[in-house]
Amino acid sequence: MDKPYPPLYYSEYLELDRLLDSQHRKSEEYGDPAHDEMLFIIVHQAYELWFKQVLFEIDSVIALLSEDPVQERHIGVCVSRLQRVIEIQKILIDQLRVLETMTPLDFLDFRDYLFPASGFQSIQFRLVEIRLGLQSDTRLRYNHAAYHSRVSVEHRDALIAAEQETSLFAALEHWLERTPFLESDSFRFWERYRAAVHDMLEHDRSVIEGNPTLSDEEKVQQIHEHARTAEHFDAMFDPAKHAALQQEGQRRLSHRATLAALFISLYRDQPILTMPHRLLASLVDIDELFTTWRYRHALMVHRMIGTKIGTGGSSGYQYLKSTAESHRIFRDLTNLSTFLIPRRVLPTLPEDVRRRLGFVHTTDAP
**Given this model, what pLDDT does residue 180 score?**
75
* Buried/exposed code over 306-324 (b: 16+ C-beta within 10 A; e: otherwise): eeeebbbebebbebbbebb
User: CB of 296 within 8 A of CB of 290?
Assistant: no
Quickly count: other Cβ atoms within 10 Å of residue 33's Cβ.
14
User: CB of 79 within 8 A of CB of 275?
Assistant: yes
Half-sphere exposure (Cβ direction) of 353: Cα atoms closer than 13 Å: 18
Closest CA to 142 of 154, 129, 132: 129
**Domains present along the chain, CATH in parentheses:** 25-184+252-338 (1.20.58.480)
Side chain identity, residue 96: L
- C-alpha angle 223/200/274, rounded to 5°? 125
Per-residue pLDDT tens listing for the chain (366 residues):
577 888 899 999 999 999 999 999 999 999 999 999 999 999 999 999 999 999 999 999 999 999 989 998 999 999 999 999 999 999 999 999 999 999 999 999 999 999 888 888 899 999 999 999 999 888 877 666 777 878 899 999 999 999 999 999 999 999 999 887 666 666 677 888 888 899 889 989 999 999 999 999 999 999 999 998 888 888 888 999 999 999 998 999 999 999 999 999 999 998 889 999 999 999 999 999 999 999 999 899 888 888 766 554 455 677 778 887 888 999 999 999 989 988 888 888 877 777 777 655 444 444
**Given this model, what pLDDT does residue 66 score?**
95
* Angle at which helices 37-65 and 72-99 cross, to 10°: 170
- C-alpha angle 338/342/344, rounded to 5°? 160
- C-alpha angle 49/51/56, rounded to 5°? 100
Rounded (10°) CA dihedral 34, 36, 41, 43: 180
End-to-end CA distance of the chain: 49
Helix (H) or strand (E) holding 48: helix 37-65
Q: 184 φ, ψ to 5°?
A: -150, 170
Secondary structure letter of residue 32 according to DSSP: -
User: Helices then strands (H, E): number in the chain?
Assistant: 17, 2
Residue 99 to residue 40: CA distance in whole angstroms: 7
**Given this model, what pLDDT does residue 186 score?**
65
The SS3 assignment for 347 reads coil
Residue 145 to residue 123: CA distance in whole angstroms: 17
Residue 159 to residue 163: CA distance in whole angstroms: 6
Query: What are the C-alpha distances in Å from 298 to residues 119, 315, 335?
Result: 12, 11, 25
Secondary structure letter of residue 178 according to DSSP: T
Q: Indicate the pTM of the whole model.
A: 0.89
